[in-house]
């Protein structure tokens, strides 16, 4: 029987009552006889609370100790769920990332999985136990505890689904799937039946945080479909799949949206689509003018770049250049937001209260009027447009953070209602 890999996020395990509900769902699935691995996140806002706690005792806690601290959040959930299942008569065992054999590199707080040695999980599945794995964590070759980046339990789930040969990775959360926008901002947002990997990577990267973009990258690499579903209701949710809908697990779930419409009268066969609107806020928006002949300052250490939402560099005929980038507010920009980073005489402008509002979808730029329609929608709402950026699957607008949510509602009304 194929193993089922189920992941329950922080909102789905927020209280003991939630954990009880998750256990009941697992019991119901177990009746079908499949071996089950469950990946859990920390309860509710635990990870944020632990990080705040660290900053109460130190202004600059080391990343190593922070990783040791925050991984304890997932350990709490895993043990409670295991105890809960056992009390219901279901044999269960919990494992940390390290015990699960998730080996990573040494980048604390943003480690990448290098290999999986999940023999302990397999042994326990063979013994008939439900295996509960603490999400978001691993261990380096030097036996240091690491974390996989915020939202990283999604990555744990996909990695285990790939490694254990599950036909699909099932992600349970507090919304009924991937919607056309965050329902907290647009209550009328609709669940999408299916999305291609590329679109979902763009959507997640630009702020649609329902799935961690690194988890989707991993799923695409191994061609495993991901299903995002409600942990409360029984709705089918959203299937993230290869662009053609082929690959392992194809045909077992949703029909790719393109096929649904293939013989519809209203929609032409070759059509662009706008899938949804994402919001990243606050965003740090930086513009730098670097004079001709400027070299990096002597002794400047190359630093890990922040997580860029976009980055561009323009060389002018006079030899001077322009750099422009935006990074998510929660990323560490290091010296990248200081003029000295770019060399003597560089002029820098840093706007740290911006929002990036993005329309995402395949072939979005083939719609010639999309920029002017977006700008008109912003103008109608009195929202200043600070900049427009395009990618192959997205069009993003920079605006003041205070008007980010309003901008999402206006773009949703213009293109998706």
253's contact among ligand ADP, ligand ASP, Mg ion, none, with CB below 5 to 8 A by partner kind, is: none
Residue 219 interacting partner from ligand ASP, ligand ADP, Mg ion, none (CB closer than 5 to 8 Å by kind): none
Residue 194 contacts ligand ADP per CB under 6 A: no
Contact at 8 Å (CB) between 132 and 160?
Answer: no
- Based on CB atoms, which residue is closest to ligand ADP, 77 or 337? 77
DSSP assignment letter at 191? B
CB 271 within 8 A of CB 331: no
Q: What is the DSSP letter of 384?
A: -
One residue of 276, 282, 361, 404 binding ligand ADP per CB under 6 A = 276
Interaction mask 143-172, Mg ion, x per CB under 5 A: --------x---------------------
17: left (phi over 0), alpha (psi -120 to 50) or beta: alpha
Nearer to ligand ADP, 195 or 288 (CB): 195
Q: Which stretch binds ligand ADP (CB under 6 A): 175-183, 243-251, 379-387, 404-412?
A: 175-183
Which ranges of 136-209 does DSSP label H, i.e. alpha helix?
Answer: 153-163, 197-205
Q: What whole-number distance in Å separates Cα of residue 401 and Cα of residue 407? A: 10
Shortest reach from residue 208's CB to ligand ADP, in Å: 4
> Residue 257 binds which one of ligand ADP, Mg ion, ligand ASP, none, with CB within 5 to 8 A depending on kind?
none
Cα separation, 361 vs 286, whole angstroms: 26
How far apart, in whole angstroms, are the C-alpha atoms of residue 354 and residue 177? 28
Q: How far is the CB of 51 from ligand ASP (least distance, A)?
A: 9
Rounded distance between C-alpha atoms, residue 328 and residue 350, angstroms: 13
CA distance 133 to 77: 9
Question: Is 156 a residue that touches ligand ADP (CB under 6 A)?
Answer: no
Residue 276 interacting entry, from ligand ADP, Mg ion, ligand ASP, none, C-beta within 5 to 8 Å by type = ligand ADP
Q: Which of residues 191 and 306 has its CB atom nearest to ligand ADP in the complex?
A: 191
378 token code pair: 């912003």
Prior bond to 220 cis, omega within 30? no
Q: Which residues bind ligand ADP (CB under 6 A)?
A: 9-12, 41, 151, 173-175, 178-179, 181-182, 184, 208-210, 276
Q: Which residues bind ligand ASP (CB under 6 A)?
A: 9-10, 41-42, 47, 73, 135-136, 150-154
């Amino acid at each position: 029987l194929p193993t089922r890999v189920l992941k329950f996020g922080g909102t789905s395990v927020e209280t003991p009552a939630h954990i009880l509900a998750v256990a009941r769902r697992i019991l119901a699935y177990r009746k079908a006889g499949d071996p089950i691995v469950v990946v859990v996140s920390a309860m509710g806002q635990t990870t944020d609370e632990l990080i705040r706690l660290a900053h109460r005792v130190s202004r600059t806690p080391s990343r190593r100790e922070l990783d040791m601290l925050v991984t304890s959040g997932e350990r709490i959930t895993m043990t409670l769920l295991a105890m809960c299942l056992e009390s219901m008569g279901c044999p269960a065992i919990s494992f940390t990332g390290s015990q699960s054999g998730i080996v990573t590199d040494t980048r604390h707080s943003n480690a990448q999985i290098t290999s999986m040695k999940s023999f302990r999980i397999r042994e326990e599945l063979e013994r008939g136990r439900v295996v509960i794995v603490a999400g978001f964590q691993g261990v380096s070759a030097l036996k240091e505890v690491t974390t996989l980046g915020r939202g990283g339990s999604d990555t744990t789930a996909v990695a285990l689904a790939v490694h254990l040969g599950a036909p699909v990775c099932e992600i349970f959360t507090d919304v009924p799937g991937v919607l056309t926008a965050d329902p907290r901002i647009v209550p009328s947002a609709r669940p999408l039946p299916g999305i291609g990997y590329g679109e979902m990577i763009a959507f997640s990267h630009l702020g649609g945080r329902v799935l961690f973009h690194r988890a989707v990258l991993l799923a695409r690499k191994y061609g495993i479909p991901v299903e995002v579903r409600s942990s409360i209701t029984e709705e089918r949710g959203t299937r993230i799949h290869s662009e053609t809908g082929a690959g392992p697990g194809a045909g077992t779930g949703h029909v790719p949206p393109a096929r649904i419409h293939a013989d519809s009268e209203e929609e032409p066969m070759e059509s662009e689509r706008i899938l949804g609107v994402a919001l990243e806020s606050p965003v740090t928006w930086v513009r730098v003018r670097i004079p001709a002949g400027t070299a990096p300052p002597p002794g400047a250490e190359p630093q890990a770049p922040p997580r860029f939402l976009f980055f561009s560099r323009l060389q002018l005929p006079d030899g001077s250049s322009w750099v422009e980038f935006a990074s998510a507010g929660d990323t560490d920009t290091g010296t990248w937001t200081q003029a000295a980073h770019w060399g003597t005489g560089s002029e820098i402008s840093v706007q740290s209260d911006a929002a990036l509002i993005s329309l995402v979808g395949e072939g979005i730029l083939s719609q010639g009027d999309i920029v002017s329609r977006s700008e008109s929608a912003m103008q109608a709402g009195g929202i200043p447009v600070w900049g427009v950026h395009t990618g192959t699957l997205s069009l993003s607008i920079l605006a003041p953070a205070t008007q980010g949510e309003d901008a999402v509602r206006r773009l949703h009304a213009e293109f998706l209602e």
